[in-house]
Amino acid sequence: MARISVSANEEVIATGIGTTTVSNGRFVRIVNTTGATAAVFVVDANSAGIGSFTMLNNTVEVVEKHPEDKIYFLGTGALKVSRIGITA
Protein backbone atom coordinates (compact mmCIF):
# COMPACT_ATOMS: atom_id res chain seq x y z
CA MET A 1 0.00 0.00 0.00
CA ALA A 2 1.32 3.45 -0.92
CA ARG A 3 1.69 6.15 1.70
CA ILE A 4 1.46 9.88 1.17
CA SER A 5 4.05 12.35 2.34
CA VAL A 6 2.66 15.84 2.95
CA SER A 7 5.04 18.37 1.42
CA ALA A 8 3.14 21.70 1.46
CA ASN A 9 0.24 23.41 3.19
CA GLU A 10 -3.27 22.67 2.03
CA GLU A 11 -4.83 25.25 -0.30
CA VAL A 12 -8.48 26.01 -0.88
CA ILE A 13 -9.38 26.75 -4.48
CA ALA A 14 -12.62 28.45 -5.43
CA THR A 15 -14.59 27.46 -8.51
CA GLY A 16 -13.61 29.10 -11.76
CA ILE A 17 -10.88 29.42 -14.29
CA GLY A 18 -8.34 30.79 -11.80
CA THR A 19 -5.66 28.13 -11.64
CA THR A 20 -3.02 26.88 -9.24
CA THR A 21 0.06 24.72 -9.69
CA VAL A 22 -0.55 23.50 -6.11
CA SER A 23 2.94 24.51 -4.98
CA ASN A 24 4.41 23.04 -8.18
CA GLY A 25 3.41 19.57 -7.02
CA ARG A 26 3.83 16.45 -9.13
CA PHE A 27 1.26 14.58 -7.03
CA VAL A 28 -1.77 16.50 -5.74
CA ARG A 29 -4.36 15.28 -3.25
CA ILE A 30 -7.82 16.76 -3.94
CA VAL A 31 -10.68 16.65 -1.44
CA ASN A 32 -14.24 17.46 -2.53
CA THR A 33 -16.54 18.47 0.32
CA THR A 34 -18.53 20.99 -1.74
CA GLY A 35 -21.82 19.13 -1.44
CA ALA A 36 -21.91 18.47 -5.20
CA THR A 37 -19.92 16.93 -8.02
CA ALA A 38 -17.05 19.01 -9.41
CA ALA A 39 -15.51 19.05 -12.87
CA VAL A 40 -11.72 19.10 -12.31
CA PHE A 41 -9.45 20.31 -15.12
CA VAL A 42 -5.67 20.05 -15.61
CA VAL A 43 -4.02 22.52 -17.99
CA ASP A 44 -0.40 23.07 -18.95
CA ALA A 45 1.73 26.14 -18.17
CA ASN A 46 0.19 27.92 -21.20
CA SER A 47 -3.36 27.06 -20.02
CA ALA A 48 -3.86 24.55 -22.86
CA GLY A 49 -6.17 21.74 -21.79
CA ILE A 50 -4.67 18.39 -20.84
CA GLY A 51 -7.73 16.64 -19.46
CA SER A 52 -10.58 16.65 -16.98
CA PHE A 53 -12.63 14.36 -14.78
CA THR A 54 -15.77 14.46 -12.65
CA MET A 55 -15.15 14.24 -8.92
CA LEU A 56 -18.01 13.10 -6.71
CA ASN A 57 -18.86 14.86 -3.46
CA ASN A 58 -17.11 13.55 -0.33
CA THR A 59 -14.32 11.86 -2.28
CA VAL A 60 -10.54 12.13 -2.36
CA GLU A 61 -8.42 11.76 -5.50
CA VAL A 62 -4.69 11.90 -6.18
CA VAL A 63 -3.67 13.48 -9.49
CA GLU A 64 -0.24 13.10 -11.07
CA LYS A 65 0.82 16.08 -13.20
CA HIS A 66 3.92 18.00 -14.29
CA PRO A 67 4.97 20.55 -11.63
CA GLU A 68 4.12 23.52 -13.87
CA ASP A 69 0.67 22.16 -14.82
CA LYS A 70 -2.29 23.89 -13.19
CA ILE A 71 -5.55 22.62 -11.71
CA TYR A 72 -8.93 24.32 -11.56
CA PHE A 73 -12.52 23.20 -11.19
CA LEU A 74 -16.06 24.17 -12.08
CA GLY A 75 -18.84 23.55 -9.61
CA THR A 76 -19.98 25.04 -6.32
CA GLY A 77 -18.01 25.87 -3.20
CA ALA A 78 -14.29 25.17 -2.95
CA LEU A 79 -11.97 22.17 -3.23
CA LYS A 80 -9.08 21.46 -0.87
CA VAL A 81 -5.77 20.61 -2.56
CA SER A 82 -2.29 19.87 -1.30
CA ARG A 83 1.04 18.82 -2.77
CA ILE A 84 2.05 15.36 -1.64
CA GLY A 85 4.68 12.74 -2.34
CA ILE A 86 3.97 9.05 -2.83
CA THR A 87 6.08 6.45 -1.04
CA ALA A 88 6.08 2.66 -1.27
pLDDT classification of 14: cutoffs 50, 70, 90? confident
Residue 73 pairs with which residues in a beta bridge? 16, 40
In angstroms, the CA 23 to CA 18 distance is: 15
Share of the chain above pLDDT 90, in %: 82
According to DSSP, residue 35 is labeled S
pLDDT computed for residue 56 by the predictor: 97
Domain coverage including residue 20: 3-87
- How many domains, the chain? 1
Quick: pLDDT tens for 24-46.
Answer: 999 999 999 999 999 999 999 99
- The domain that holds 31 is classified in CATH as 2.60.120
Average pLDDT over residues 52-61: 97
